[in-house]
Structures are given as C-alpha cells and as structure tokens.
Amino acid sequence: MELTYLSRCLFWNIPKIDDYKRFTNASISKGGTVLPLAQAPEKMPQRPVSWKFRGQPREGQLSELLASTGSTACIVLQHGEILYEQYFNGYQRNSINTSFSAAKSMTSVLTGIAIAEGAIHAVEDPVARYLTDFNKTGYDQITISHLLQMCSGLEYKEGVFPWTDDARVYYGLRLREQALRARLIETPGSTYHYNNYNLLLLGMILEKATGQPVPAYFSEKIWQHIGAEADASWSMDSRHSGFAKMESGFNALAIDFARFGQLCLQNGQINGQTIIPASWLHESTSAPIHTADNTRYLSRMVPPLCKWAGSPHGYYKYLWWGYQTDPHNFDYFALGVKGQLIYISPRKQAVIVRFGKKWGDIDWWPELLKQLADSLA
C-alpha cells in the first residue's frame, strides 16, 4: 500500500484538473429532467477588467485574461439566465472539471441536510458521538462545528512533498485510517487552521449517520434535483477502501456546478421544493455579526475570524469563504486550488463560475469575480 502511495506521489506529481481519470470514481446520478438555463435577453457587456499580479495592477479584456491563465470555463448567471458562457484551452460545455477544495462547500451542504433530517442530531455534537475513536481525553471536546470551521486542533502539515499531510490526504489509499490517526495539538475551537482531516472526519460522520456512502447521499439529496445535464462523480481514495475524497474530488460539468450555485442562491429551493434548509445556508455563509464596540458575537463561531488576501472584509464560515460587501450584504463562494470557484452574490442575484487548469498570473480570483458581480445591474 505504501509503495502505491509513493508511486502516486512520484508519477502523478502535482494535482491536475483531470486527475479524476486516475482515481476510482463513484458515480453521482442526475435526475430525469434537465433544468434549462435560458440565455439572457442581453449578453454581459464587454468591458475591461482590472486585477493584480504580484501586487502590481493590470488591466485587460476578460476573455484574454481567462485564456491566458489556463481557465477552462467561465459562466455568469443572473436571475437564473446565462449572461456569459465561454470555454477555453481545449475545454467545451461537455468537458468534466474537478472541484478540488470547492467540494468542501458541498460537504457543508450535506451536513446541513443530515441535521435537518435528524440523521445528525446537532452541529454542536461531539465527533465522538459518531466516531468512537474520538472518545478519549481532548478529542472528545472536538465538535462537528469545529470541523466545519477549521478549528479542530488537529495537527496538519501543508506542502506537496510525500511526507506532508496534504500529500497523504490527496494521494492516500486508506483515508479513514489516516484521519483517525490525526494528532490533537491545540485546544479545539481556539485556532483556525485549514485542515483536510476535518473533511475526512465529516465524511465518516455522514457515512455513519446516514448509512450511505457520501456520493450516494449527495446524488439522492442534491444532484437528482438540480436538473443537471450530466452525471457527476466523486473520486475515491481506492477501490478497496471506497471512501470519497471529501476534501477535493467532485467532478462535473462547469454548467452543472453553476446549477449547484443557483440552488444555493435560491436559498436551497427549486420548483417549490426545499433541497437545502435556508436557515443552514444562511448560518453557513453569512458574514459575522459585529457590535458597536467591534466585539464579534456569532453563535458557534469560536475561532478568530480568518482574514485572507489582506481583506478586512473576508471571512470563513462552515466551509464557505465570504466577502462582507457592505453592512447589510455579503457574497460567498466555494474555492479550490487552481482557481476553481463557484461565486454566489445574493445582492446581484448572480452566480459566477470559473474553473481552470492552473491559477495563472492573478493574485486573487475572488476579487476579480466580485468585480464582475459589482458590474452587474
């Protein structure tokens, strides 16, 4: 097994957008009806966009930026209609894109559904309630909320080398066992630390609570209802283990990722049916609350607010990233390495998707997609 893991590290090397071709995959079946997305009466106006690379300002046309940064797809929906849809670098509408860490936000949604159905009792439940290996001193203080907020206190070493946790999670063949071996090094709830073991533990909790593999649960609860054009898949650690790569491996058409974003924009409702509880979406994605003396109060939000890209308005919630755009509004997004993004702007009733083979010469894609949202009427 270890030799196979090392072989993956050596021959597969840096993760790629088409790694789903290498992993064993669990199929995620679409429903019987495709939800049409109409073309908007008017296309999104072509105007220059601005961005930064290595801190230096740049300006150019959106399509040129997308093509030059290894993008594979960019889609802009507003009011459920297509304003912009372009594909690049050999990709088409029927091309499969992998999510990388954008899958984390899908795990957040599944957790909320499982709580609403009673399979999971509450977000404040200790992990030990579902995984008996955590019924020991210190570990028994870790809650599902801590996993969702990346503050479990479990050790995690980043990097691309074979002995880092990043590599062991991405290329590992027995991920359940790896997650249960994670070492507790901090008080749960005290420190934000982006940690893929949290996702593996959430996947194990979902398996235990629902009695189903995560891909089957996702297909039943979400994919069969959103009107997807194609089946999706979730990459597995190995054929023998059969555990979904919770931190990364969701594979689908870019237009179907946009449909998932549209479902979230509609507060989890489609055709009058509740797919995702609206209260859970709001709790998962909304900006933290501040009082007049700038003291932050938010139910279940224990660790210090995660600031990213130097933005005072950025935050991280239940496996979603967010921008507080003004005192009353926020945008939120699923984000994966190489710039995989499902950006949702309730204030503009818009969903913006960007997927790519690489991140490219731009410092921070979410700022560019926020700029696109800001430009919409």
Determine the 3-state secondary structure of 258 from DSSP. helix
Interval 194-217: pLDDT, tens: 999 999 999 999 999 999 999 999
Average the pLDDT over 293-306 and give the result.
Answer: 39
pLDDT greater than 50 at residue 159: yes
The radius of gyration of the chain's CA atoms, rounded to the nearest angstrom, is 20
What percentage of the chain reaches a pLDDT higher than 70?
Answer: 93
* 17-375, CATH topology level: Beta-lactamase (3.40.710)
pLDDT tier, 55 (very low <50, low <70, confident <90, very high otherwise): very high
Per-residue pLDDT at 46: 86
Give the C-alpha separation, 257 to 38, whole Å: 16
pLDDT tier, 314 (very low <50, low <70, confident <90, very high otherwise): confident
Contact 320, 276 (CB under 8 A): no
Q: Where are the domains of the chain?
A: 17-375
For 280, the enclosing helix (H) or strand (E) is helix 278-285
Contact 331, 285 (CB under 8 A): no
Average the pLDDT over 64-87 and give the result.
Answer: 98
Determine the 3-state secondary structure of 326 from DSSP. strand
Provide the whole-model pTM: 0.94
